[in-house]
Amino acid sequence: MREISLHILDIATNSLRAKASRIRISVNIDEAADALTFEVCDDGEGMPPLAARLASGHLDPRPGHGGGSGLGLLASACERAGGWLDIWTVKGEGTGVKARFGLHCPDRAPLGALADTVANLSAANPGVQIVLNLRAGPRSFDFDSREAKAALGGAPLSSPVAFPWMRRLLDDGVTATFPLEGVPGHPGHTLATRQTTQ
Amino acid sequence: MTTLEDLKRVREEALKAMSVRLGPHAVTVTVGMGTCGIAAGARETMSALLDELCRREIWEVTVLQTGCRGMCAEEPLVEVEFKGRPPVLYGQVTPEMARQIVAGTLDRKNNSASTPEAARLRPISLKLAEALETDHDLNNGQGKD
C-alpha cells in the first residue's frame, strides 16, 4: 500500500466483513517516542484464533483460513518502518488492530489522504458508526459519523449536500491536527523532518 | 461551511435524499474495496464517484462498498444496479472512468449516454457474457465430433 490511510481502509473493511456496527479509528503521532500509531477497533464477530496468529506472519488466503493478505501486508509495512503490529480478538465481541511505525523512518509510507478514507467509509456504510480520534501532542480532532448524521437530522451522509460538508469537516480536522501529514497527496514526511533524523 | 446556520441549510436539503433513494429511480453503485481493490486504487475511484455525483447533484444514487469479488486482476470493480434491472459490472475503473460512468449512465437530467466517452466504456459483465457464449459454442462443437 502506498499510504498508511489505505492500510486503515483495508483493516476497517475487514471489520465491515465481520459485521461490525461500530468501528473506532484512532491515529496518534508522538514526536517524543518517534512513533506513528494507529488503532482500528470494532465490535464485530472476532477472528478465529488461528487466523489472528497467522495474520501477522503468513499469508493464507484460502477461505476459512483467516482471509486475505491485508494484515500480512500491514505487518510487513510496520516491521519495515521499525514498528510492530498487535492484534487482539474475542469471538463474538470484536477485534482490535494496533499498528506502530517509526515516525521519522524513511521506509514509512506517508499517512496519505486520511480524510478521504474516513469520508468514504462513512458515506458508503450508512448503517455503521465510524469514530475517528486523532492525537498529536496538544492537538486533537474527533469525528463521529453517527453524530454527523444526527446533526443532519438522520439524512444519508452521501447526499450531494451532506458529503461535501463532511469532507470539509474531516479535511480541516486532519490538516489542523497533522499539519505535515494530513494534506491529500502530500508526500507525508517533509524533507525538513527527514533531515533532522539523519 | 461549518457554522450552525450552514448546518441547518445542509440539513434541510439533505433530508430530500431519503425519499428519492427509496423511489422507482433508485440506483445502487457498489465499489470493490478488498485489499486487492484498495491496492489498485478503489478509494480514489470511490472519491471520484462521490465527487461527481455531488457536483451534478444526483440524489437517487446510493454508493456502497464491498469486499473482494474474486476478480482481483480487474479491480477496481464498480457495479451499477438500477432498481429492478440486472447489475452491470465495470472493471479497472480509474477515477476518470468513474466520472464517465456518472456522466454517461447515472445523470438522468443531463444524459450524455451517446457521447464518445461513454461509448468507449465497456462493462466487464458484457465481456464475461461474451466469453461464456464463446465457451458454450466451443463445447457444442466438441460435442458434435
Hey, of B10, B18, B33, B35, which one would you mutate to test binding to chain A, going by the most A CBs within 10 A of its CB?
A: B35
Among B28, B104, B57, B97, CA closest to A124:
B28
Count of CB contacts below 8 A, A vs B? 111
What is the DSSP track for A133-192? EEEETTEEEEEEHHHHHHHTTT--TTSTTHHHHHHHHHHHHHHHH-TTT-STT--SS-HH
Asked if B22 is an interface residue toward chain A (Cβ–Cβ < 8 A), one would say: no
**pLDDT attached to residue A188:** 43
pLDDT of residue B85: 85
Confidence of residue B45 (pLDDT cuts 50, 70, 90): very high
pLDDT at A195 (0 to 100): 34
Determine contact: B87 vs chain A, CB below 8 A.
no
Sign of CA dihedral B2, A177, A78, A97: negative
Count of CA atoms in the C-beta half-sphere (13 A) of A139: 16
Q: Which of A117, A156, A168 sits opposite B43 (nearest CB)?
A: A117
Residue type at position A177: T
Provide, as residue numbers in chain B, all residues whose Cβ is less than 8 Å from the Cβ of A162.
10, 14, 17
Q: Using one digit for the tens of pLDDT, what is the confidence trace for A19-31? A: 999 999 999 999 8
Q: How far off is chain B from A52, nearest CA to CA, in Å?
A: 17
Say which amino acid occupies B106. Answer: L
Contact B120, B101 (CB under 8 A): no
Quick: pLDDT tens for B84-140: 888 889 999 999 999 988 888 888 777 655 554 554 577 777 777 777 777 655 555
pLDDT in tens, A46-88: 887 766 666 555 555 555 445 567 888 898 899 999 999 988 8
Closest C-alpha to B68, from B46, B88, B42: B42
Q: How far is residue A108's CA from residue A197's CA, in Å, rounded to a whole number? A: 13
| A76 in contact with chain B, both atoms CB, cutoff 8 A | no
pLDDT tens-digit series, residues A91-137: 889 999 999 999 888 888 888 889 999 999 999 999 999 999 999 98
Q: Is B121 left (phi over 0), alpha (psi -120 to 50) or beta?
A: beta
Shortest Cα–Cα distance, A11 to chain B (Å) = 9
Q: Is A120 touching B (CB cutoff 8 A)?
A: yes
Q: Taken in order B105, B111, B117, B119, is the CA torsion positive or negative?
A: positive
Task: Return the residue in A8, A76, A165 with the most chain B beta carbons within 10 A, the one to mutate for interface testing.
Answer: A165
How far is the C-alpha of A186 from the C-alpha of A115, rounded, in Å? 13
Q: What is the pLDDT of residue B143?
A: 46
- The phi, psi pair for A110, rounded to 5°, reads -65, 160
> What is the 3 state secondary structure string of A45-58?
CCCCHHHHHHHCCC
Residue B10 has its nearest CB partner, among A17, A162, A172, at: A162
Q: Give per-residue pLDDT as tens, B60-81.
A: 899 999 988 888 888 899 999 9
